[in-house]
Structure 1
Amino acid sequence: MHICLSDGWGGLEMYPARIIPELQRQGWQAHGLALAGSRVAESLASTGIAPLTVPSRGRALLQVGRILGYLKRHGIEVLHCHKSSDLRLGALLATLRPTLQLFFTDHMGVTRPKKDFYHRWAYGRVSRLFAISEATRQRNLKAFPLPPERIRRLYLGIDLTPYAPQLDEPAREALRRELGVMPGQVAIGLPGRLTDGKGHEVWLEGLARLAERAPELAWHGVLIGGLSAREGSDERYVSHLRSRIEELKLGQRVTFAGFRPDLPRLFEALDIVCVPSRNEAFGLTVVEAMAAGKAIVGADSGAIPELLEADCGRLAAAEESQAWAEAMAELGQDAALRERLGQTARARAERHFGVAAHVEALIREYAGKEPTS
């Protein structure tokens, strides 16, 4: 059973529904526990399972008897939590039913030590803690009250199939026009939640500098991500970005695409994908762009350098807009380089970041087997 009692919507919340179809394909019966009416519950239902729901995190603790009954009826022996706050419930369930195995994925990257009495109790019930990158694993080793052998790096994986090109040239050009990209322009996109910390401002400042650095280059910027809280974004921050775009005189050169369920197709419409997040715990957008065969510019911080090797894209200093302008200019002016980087990125995604390989590794952990070399 995957437990995700979150009312937000981001990579963490998307994870259970992302991997459950592959778990089922590999022979596991998957269940979910979510907040009633949440996007997580909706996403679980979209995979074909009926999630067990609770009204709130607090009520989940009061309904522990009901949840234990559900686990017993369905023969569930593995619990997998995705928010640290959900470990209260997971650890309580594992305490009341000691045969349960409890797993936890640290999707966010811990920032402070968790070694007080409560955390020693909660994490003491965890069979395995998964770090989603080596960068977060190193922080996990220092922060969590667990021996090193119970903390494993497990890169996330995605279904690569939807990211293969599907549009013919007329359809691609029509989609580009819909995004405000005119014929002959280089489309430079930034996909992801519109929240502080994702690097939107340094990217916009980089675009303003790009206009000065390469005045002959025709380009258009595309911001892809929900514009409302329901879609996972910070509405005040969205308003701030709109103001910043006007201040930088980019009003005619940047489009807000909003939330798009057809993200793989939007990647087809882009020439360059930028991921300027300051401290990404993994970098799912980087992997998605790699799977789409795009030329990528990523921040040189967090886990992104682990994913984006030199022959797959370019790194730019997370806080330096001039560095972003230089990287975007290099790729924007060289279509052959973009093509070469994109092909190498796609091959790397196929080797290392497919969901099937991720789930195989996850199942080995569920079964208590040592990871393969």
Structure 2
Amino acid sequence: MSHKVMHICLSDGWGGLEMYPGRIIPELKRQGWEPHGLALAGSAVAASLVEAGIEPLTVPSRGRALLQVGRVLAYLKRQGIDVLHCHKSSDLRLGALLATLKPGLKLFFTDHMGVTRAKKDLYHRWAYGRVTRLFAISEATRARNVAAFPLPADRIKRLYLGIDPEPYRPRLSEAVCDALRRELGVPATSVAIGLPGRLTDGKGQDLWIEALGLLRERYPDLAWHGVVIGGLTAAEGSDEAYVSRLQAQVASLGLETRIHFAGFRRDLPRLFEALDIVCVPSRNEAFGLTVIEAMAAGKAVVGTDSGAIPELLDNTCGRLASPQAPGDWAEAMAELGRDPELRRQLGQAARHRVLADFTLAAHVSSLVEEYSQA
């Protein structure tokens, strides 16, 4: 076997799905594989692959990719690549066609989003019929995958995502951390409660803001400051209309001096050090990468009790609350906000959980085992 793989991601967006190939490429190399990439010309995905150390093959559009199947096939043969890995369901058209034209080519697909409707018509039976293994990123999504895809259950494997925990290890001096808190608008004596993630409907920022309003009412003696971390424009991956609604919600609750919109930041591992509590109120998260990032940083995390988050987080290392109950969120934040020792204990347990179960090295090790054995 050649130990070469091409990751196909023909997306012009930028989110967890699009970040994935660039994130795992260095670890693939470390584990003895030669990664290649296929992306849209000029896309953020293509740029991330270059940054990760490979020069991807590019196509001008998804439609043109199908027209250039001969070019892609010639590249695979020239490079001796016999493993493909797709990350968008629309990319399976190309992947399945390549697998049909090149017998022996192994085709893998990761469902990053969590399928919401059945895909068992004639086209999907053909496309998914060419898939060697489908990876679900949580047990919650695997259950939906088994019901929705025209594949036997034994060809659908749960493979949790992972991160390199080292960048999240706390390292700032107290003085630098205090300066960062001031930059985020956090008063010196306040508990910093952060919510990182794209500002789009479904991520739960509106629920969190409502919960902070209740926190102020129920616990007027608790000094806290909220920090929203995420881009404020469409170019930064956020929904600008939704951002405007959030800002109006903050104003209507009179929380302008208690909640700071930090905008897009590239220094999230360091921002975690400036926070005391991290909240992830996404309503139906397929995995919850932000959850394990905050856990790796040793933070006390409050997450939703729906989607895949309960697979990552429990009462031994954090707190769960309903995405329909802002009052429950207020109580969870109050419990953690009033007890620094509890925050420390939960954060320590959370980091140990990531080191045991959610490292990038372990994820890629399982991945290449599948590449090799299939």
TM-score by length of 2: 0.98
Q: Deviations over 1:256-276 (max 9, x none)?
A: 111111110000110000000
Corresponding residue to 1:62 among 58, 67, 79 = 67
User: Paired residue for 1:258, among 254, 263, 273?
Assistant: 263
Alignment-derived partner of residue 312 in structure 1: 317
Partner of 1:171: 176
Instruction: Using the TM superposition, give the Cα deviation of residue 55 of structure 1 relative to its aligned residue in structure 2, in angstroms.
Output: 1.0
In terms of mean alpha carbon deviation, does 140-149 or 236-245 score higher?
Answer: 236-245
Separation in structure 2 between the aligned mates of residue 25 and residue 66 of structure 1, nearest angstrom = 29
The structure 2 residue matched to 1:284, chosen from 279, 285, 289, is 289
Q: Distance in 2 between matches of 1:230 and 1:14?
A: 16
SS of the equivalent of 1:273 reads strand
1:112 to 92, 117, 120: 117
Q: Deviations over 1:125-171 (max 9, x none)?
A: 00000000000111111000001110000000011110001100000
Residue of 76, 97, 105 corresponding to 2:81: 76
Structure 1 distance, partners of 2:94, 2:241, is 33
Q: Which residue of 2 aligns with 1:187?
A: 192
Instruction: Please name the residue that 1:88 is paired with.
Output: 93
In the aligned structure 2, how far is the partner of 1:230 from the partner of 1:12? 17
| Corresponding residue number in structure 2 for 1:155 | 160
Q: Secondary structure at the match of 1:104?
A: strand
Looking at structure 1, the residues matched to 253 and 56 of structure 2 have their Cα atoms a distance apart, in angstroms, of 46
Tell me the alpha carbon deviations over residues 286-311 of structure 1, each in whole angstroms, 9 at most, x when there is no partner: 01011000000000000000100211
**Which ranges of 4 or more aligned residues in structure 1 deviate by more than 6 Å?**
none
- Give me the whole-angstrom Cα distance separating, in 2, the residues matched to 1:243 and 1:5: 36
- Match of 1:237, SS state, is helix
Cα offset, 1:184, TM superposition: 1.1
Whichever residue aligns with residue 110 of structure 1, its letter is: V
State how far apart, in whole Å, the 2-side matches of 1:339 and 1:20 are: 33
Kept in 2: contact 1:312–1:344 (CA 8 A): yes
The Cα offsets for residues 162-204 of structure 1, whole Å up to 9 and x where unpaired, read as: 0001100000000000000010110000001110000010000
Taking the aligned partners of 1:325 and 1:127, their CA distance within structure 2 comes to 46
8 Å CA contact 1:213–1:329 kept in 2: the answer is: no
What is the match of residue 127 of structure 2? Answer: 122
Matched, 1:6 2:18: no
Partner Cα separation in structure 1 for residue 218 and residue 280 of structure 2: 20
The separation in 2 between residues aligned to 1:248 and 1:43, in whole angstroms, is 40
1:21 aligns with 2:26: yes
Query: Corresponding residue for 2:3?
Result: none
Match of 1:301 in 2: 306
Amino acid at match of 2:99: A
User: Equivalents in 1 of 2:67, 2:257: separation in Å?
Assistant: 54
What amino acid is the match of 1:15? Answer: Y
- Partners of 1:197 and 1:165 lie apart in 2 by 30
The match for 1:103 among 108, 128, 146 is 108
Alignment match, 2:35: 30
Structure 2 gaps of 5+ residues are 1-5
Q: Distance in 1 between matches of 2:255 and 2:55?
A: 46
In 1, the alpha carbon distance for the partners of 2:58 and 2:156 equals: 29
Distance 1:217 1:113 in 2: 48
The answer for the alignment partner of 1:326 in structure 2 is 331
Structure 1 residue 232 displacement after superposition: 1.2
Counterpart AA for 1:276: P
The code of the aligned residue for 1:62 comes to L
| Amino acid in the other structure paired with 1:302 | G
- Cα distance in 2 for partners of 1:173, 1:69 equals 56
- 1:118: how far off? 0.5
The one of 231, 236, 239 aligned to 1:231: 236
Task: State the Cα distance separating 1:242 from its structure 2 match.
Answer: 1.0
Indicate the residue corresponding to 2:352 in structure 1: 347
SS at match of 1:182: coil
Unaligned runs of 5+ in 1: none
Paired amino acid for 1:158: I
Considering only aligned residues, what root-mean-square deviation do their CA atoms show, in Å? 0.7
Secondary structure of 1:140's aligned partner: helix
Q: Distance in 2 between matches of 1:237 and 1:70?
A: 43
- Counterpart of 1:255 in structure 2: which amino acid? H
How many residues end up aligned between the 2 structures? 369
Q: Is 1:134 the counterpart of 2:139 in the alignment? A: yes
Distance 1:271 1:338 in 2: 8
Q: Which moved more, 1:319-328 or 1:230-239?
A: 230-239
Q: State the secondary structure of the residue aligned to 1:98.
A: coil
Please say which of residues 185-194 and 239-248 is displaced more in the overlay: 239-248
1:246 alignment partner in structure 2: 251
Q: Which residue of 2 aligns with 1:336?
A: 341
